[in-house]
Structures are given as structure tokens and as C-alpha cells.
Chains A and B, each alone.
Chain A
Amino acid sequence: MLSYILFIATIGGIYGLLALSLNLIWGGVGMVNLGLAGFFAVGAYASALLTTVGHGPIAAGWLIALVAGGVAGLVVTLSTTRLREDYLAIVTLGFAETVRLVASNEIWLTRGTDGISGIPGPWKRALGPDFNAVYFLIVVLALLVVFFVMRRIDRSPYGRALRAIREDAQVAQVAGKPVLRFKTEAFVLSAAIAGLAGALYGHFTSYIAPDMFLPLITVYIFLAVASGGTGRPAGALVGAYLVMTLLESSRFFVEWIPGVTAVQRAALKELLIAVALIVVLRLKPSGVLPERVPPAPRPS
């Protein structure tokens, strides 16, 4: 049981990183990034390839994942500077699908739909059954670092500028804020975090394949951020664990229901998750931990 909880808490932590990444870009700047799964995949593949084909150290893999995610983010923002809202959402969704198609078809590089197996985990052999616990700590550490950076940004003048762009980019521009630079920086940082999450995922489960990076994961993270509280890092984090708790605990609830077949149970599980999320958003429309905008310091 303990190793299961550790496993789920680790995956929850990785979802948490993705939620923090999305919260920065969606909650912070108001850019709808439906391509989260794509950046997640870029990071996962970059690190997996470096450590399996390139035999590089795992830490270098994580670093490369950060860089690769960031570079992908830079390319996407610079090619979509004129797009906003729905149009940006469509292009980013397209980006994620493109990443998945490249991963499926460029077999020489990614081993195609077979996926990459045997991705090393840090000290996996030496740790044996303790691997899950140690990896959990690594993920928590990464999560905490990213969380505090996000909170620092959230409360800083930089964060206020981002929020101003979210509310009205034109007004921010008039006030002298370099909107494009802010957007690009935030997007690159957000994509880099998603890339890191991908690398952490790959080294934990030891296997990645294009099928793992379907848009479903982006939907989960949107649910996490929406239910946790858009625009607040702690909200994103709580939301990620809330979604993971719902996904997993619903397994156990449906086992108690007598007289239903396996299929009905699977359907009930999905239903339960949906109902729970609707209830959360009905009772707390702006999320469990709604955004708080601290007043700007008054000039003294």
C-alpha cells in the first residue's frame, strides 16, 4: 500500500509541476496553452534519448529537458505572436499533435510507436524497493523549488505586469510594458517546467511512448488548475493533487458498489470523477484556493 501511495504521490507531483507550468501561462498571462502535453513530451524524449542512446547522466537529462522544453516554447511563442485566445489554443493544440506525430514517425530517433523502454532511474538498482520513496523526494524537491519560484513571481512586480497583460494587453502596452517580451519569457519558463515534468515522468516509469502524450493529459491539467484556483500557484498544486486523488480514489469507491459489471464500474468511475469536479466548481467557482491579488505597494 505504501509504495502505491508513494507512486501516486509522485505522479501527482509531476501533475503538480504541469499545473504550475499551466498556471503561469494561463492563470498568469491568460494565454491558453492546449499544447502542454507537447512540451511534456519534448522534455520526456529529450531526457530519455540523452540517457539511453547518449548514455548521459540522468541529471544532464533533466537539464536538457528544461532547455528543450524552453526552446520549444520559444519557437511556439515567436511563431504565434499575432495570435490570441482561441487561435493560440488551436495552434498550441496543433503543436502537441505534431510532436506526437513526429515521435510516432521518426523511428530512427524516437523508436516510433514502440516507444523508448529501459530509461534509467537514479540509483535504481542500488535502491531496489526504496526507489519509489527516493524518487518521490526528488519530485517533491523539484516541485517545491518550482512552487517557490512561481510564488515569488506571482507576488513580484513582474507578476503584476503579467496580470496586467492578462487583463488587457493594450493597456499594459500603453503603460510602457514590453508585452511581447513578458509573454515570451513566461511561455518559455512555463514550457521549460513542462519539459522537466516530462523528464521526471520518463525516468520514473522507465518507459515512454507517443500514446502517453495524448491531449487527455492537458485536459487533466486544465481541470486541476481550474478546480484548484486559476492564477494562484498553491491553487494549481492543490488542484493537481485533487485531480490525482479523484482519479485514483474512485477506483476504490466503485469496488464497493455491488452488482455491477466491470464495464459499468469503469463507466461509474469516470462518472464519479466528472461529478466530483462539477461539485467542486459549483461550490467554488474560482477554485479551491481562489486568486488573491495583493494591492500594489503605495508610493511613499
Chain B
Amino acid sequence: MTNIRIGRRAALAAGVAALASPAVVRAQADPIKLATLTPLTGAGGPYGPVMAKAAASVVEEVNKAGGVLGRRIVLVSEDDQTNPEAAVRAARKLIDVDKVAAIMGTWASSVTTAVAPLCWESKTFLCTVSGADSITLLPHQGFLIRTQPNSKLQVTRVGEFILSLGAKKAFTMIPQTPFTQSTFDILNQVLPKGGCAHQSLIYDDKKTTYRTEVDQALRTSPDVILANGYTPDTVVLLKDLYRAGFKGKILGFAYSINQKLVDQVGQPEVVEGVYNFAPASAEGSSAFEKAKAASGSANPDPYTCQVYDHINLVLMAIASAKAATGEAIKENIRKATMSGGKVVDNAVDGLKEIAAGGKVDYAGASGPCDFDEKGDILDCKFRYEQIKAGKFTLVKIA
């Protein structure tokens, strides 16, 4: 009854053996291998490609100038598909096959949290742009830094901005995300101190109308509404707020309230006067100009600036360590940016200085890039804008 036929066995074996087929043995000898793991497809698709490009141009420049420690840099680019399951497979390939010393540019918080354990277990360095507070609290043993301010810093600044608008009653509308609860907690602390009452609700970001949610919010007659979602749901939310005749102020993060949102809403009167804010890149700094050139974009987004900083920092850390391992990068990354040495804005200059025996203090395109022991950045400026006649106009950078 249960006689096994060789044909099946062979087919099964062939399936397993086929897995080994991509085992192309490549020369592992000389070049230093680094990787970007950015979202080239999926929800992060608008950001990842430019991020990968910026890192690639920095590597090209450094290679032209003779590489690091006399070795060429090879940058491998993988797609995390904005999906933790796919990202884990991609990261495993980068770590085990390419044997990269560092992975840079993971974007979504869930992707970073999924990839981080693989990195610290294999002693691979990880640089991320994800914002969730929980990430730097992972037991990463120092193998992780992030250039994105954590949500505590971001939300505190948002609260202060709401107070500066003279709000007496604020209302937050937010979908369920890793920072939803911390957003409530922080605003409930910051706002009452400035004499502003705060209430909030969580909505489902896949709904096609938010009338009931808007009614619920307007019942508290707020003068400021924080629309803290992503672009697709915020489009619907803003329209419903307009229809309901809300006359107060609206603000939200720049990753959702952006030009795409203005285009999708299609009615200038709906978005008129809406504020947005974002961690500001160090606009006007020389590193920012270099990031512009590297990304080939006139106005590189904060994530691109951050990846530009990642690759520069990693290269200089390798140079100061005189070794291209994750461990070496971990030990030396802070030396490249917090040493009080010569201020540099790119790796080519920094590498020269290090080769000459000097110290460097990197000032990046996203900010000063100084990290605490958990891997969080210490300080960051924020940029506030307001939509006037369909155009974003700068309110302040602070």
C-alpha cells in the first residue's frame, strides 16, 4: 500500500538540490562588502530606490578615490519589499552569501525589528531609518544605530508646536501603528502642561469614509486636530473634516501630508492652511548639497539624507578600525562623528584625514549624527510647513 517509488524521491531530492543551484561561488577575497536593504517595492517604494542610489554614488566616489584601506567597496542592494517576511530572507542572503559587514537603510519598523536579530547574532552592523521606539530597546549589543529621531522626540516637538498654535482643545486621530500608544501618552503629558486639553481616537486605516470618526472628534469641539495617519487614509479624513465644516487647524506628519496628498485630494480649499512637520534634514549644509548630488534629486527626502549619512559613517568607521567587520564598525562608528576632530561632510575627505592619522567629526546631511549608547540620535531639527494656495510654504525650522 505504501510502497515508495523512486520517482517521487528523486523529484523531492531534485527540489531540494535545486535550492543549491544559486550557489555561485564568487571571489570573497579582497573587496569590502556592504549592503543596502531598502524598500524598492511595496509601501516604501517611493523612498527606497533613491536611498539605494544615494548610497551607491557615495561608494562610487570612494572607489574612485582609491577605496578604503586600499580595498574596493562593493555595495549589494536588496529589496525588503516593505515586508518583514521577505526582508528576513533578503537579509539572510546578504549576511550568509555576500557576507556584508553592514546593512543600511531598513525603512519600515516591522522590517527593522525582524532583521535586527539576524544582524546582532551574526555581528553585522545595522543602520536604520525606522522610528518606532521599541527598536533601539532591542538587545542589539550596539550593532544598531538609527538616524531617525524616535517617536518620543518627534511627538514631544509636535505637542510643543500644537501649543505654539494657541490650542486649547486638541484632538488626535491615528490608525494603529507601533507608535500609536506612545503618541497618546506623550501628548497627554505635554499638552495639559501648556493648558491644552487632549482627546484622541484610533481609526482603521483601510476604511473608505471617516464620517463617524469625524463626528466623534468634532463633538469635543477641538481647535486643533492632529491627523496622524498615512497618505491614503489622511486624504479621506481631510475631505470628511472639510465636509463636516471643521474650521480649526489641522496638522500631520510630512510623510502623509505631502504633495501627493494635495494632488489626490484635488480640491485646494480642503487642504488650505493644513500644517505638516518632519524631522528636518540639515538643509543648506554642505553635506546636504552632497546628498543632493548623490541622489540626483533637487530635494532629497529625509530618508535619502539619512542613508547618505549611514554609508559615510560606516566607511569612516571601517577606516578608523582598519578592519571591515561588523564588530569593528560597532566599536568605531562613534569615533567618526563624535570625536571632536576635523569636521567633514563626506567619506572621501574623512578617509583622507583618517589615513593621515587625524580625527574626524562627521556633520551629516540629516543632522549632526551624534548617537547615544542605545543607538538613538541625540538631537534633530524639525521643519514645519503650511499649505497656502496648494503650495507648501515654510513656517519655521526649529
- Answer yes or no: are A and B bound together in one complex: yes
Task: Give A residues with C-beta under 8 Å from B.
Answer: 1-5, 7-9, 11-12, 101, 104-105, 107, 112-115, 117-118, 148, 151-152, 155, 205-207, 209-212, 214, 216-217, 234, 237-238, 241-242, 244-245, 247-249, 251-253, 255, 261-263, 265-267, 269-270, 288-289
Assess the A8–B53 pair: CB atoms within 8 A.
no
Using Cβ atoms and an 8 Å threshold, which residues of chain B touch A217?
A: 85
Contact between A112 and B178, CB atoms less than 8 A apart? yes
Contact between B15 and A241, CB atoms less than 8 A apart: yes
CB within 8 Å for A113 and B177 given contacts A7-B92, A152-B2, A262-B52: yes
4 nearest interchain CB pairs? A4-B96, A266-B40, A241-B15, A266-B79
State in angstroms the CA–CA spacing of A236 and B88 once bound together. Answer: 24
Across chains A and B, the number of contacting residue pairs, with CB separation under 8 Å, is 147
Given pairs A112-B181, A249-B22, 16 additional interface contacts (CB within 8 A): A4-B92, A7-B89, A112-B180, A113-B176, A115-B110, A207-B114, A211-B83, A212-B85, A234-B12, A244-B19, A245-B21, A247-B89, A248-B93, A249-B21, A263-B48, A263-B49
Partner of B23, one of A1, A148, A234, A255: A1
- Nearest chain-A residue to B202 (Cβ)? A105
Contact of A107 with B181 in the complex, beta carbons under 8 Å:
yes
* Interface status of B84 (Cβ within 8 A of chain A): yes
* Residue tally, chain B, CB below 8 Å to A: 56
- A214: chain B residues within 8 A (beta carbon): 83
Q: Are B113 and A209 in contact (CB under 8 A)?
A: yes
Interface residue B6 (Cβ < 8 Å from any Cβ of A): no
B113 interface neighbour in A4, A8, A207, Cβ under 8 Å: A207
A214 CB to closest chain B CB (Å) equals 7
Q: Does B276 contact A (CB under 8 A)?
A: no
With A211-B110, A266-B40 as known contacts, state yes or no: A261 contacts B49, CB within 8 Å.
yes
Q: Which residues of B contact A151 (CB under 8 A)?
A: 2
A248 to B23, CA, bound (A): 11
Digit string of B132-172 for contact with A (CB within 8 Å is 1, else 0)?
10100011000000000000000000000000000000000
Selected from B16, B48, B88, B132, the residue in CB contact (under 8 A) with A9 is: B16
Question: When the two chains form their complex, are residues B22 and A251 in contact, meaning their CB atoms are under 8 A apart?
Answer: yes
Smallest CB separation, A259 vs chain B (Å)? 13
Tell which of B40, B78, B180 has the most Cβ of chain A within 10 Å.
B40
Specify which of A5, A151, A216 lies most central, judged by the most chain B CB atoms within 10 Å of its CB.
Answer: A5
- B8: chain A residues within 8 A (beta carbon): 234, 289
Residues of B within 8 A of A252 (CB): 22, 24
> In whole angstroms, what is the CA distance A245 to B89 when docked?
12
Query: B97 an interface residue at 8 Å Cβ cutoff?
Result: yes
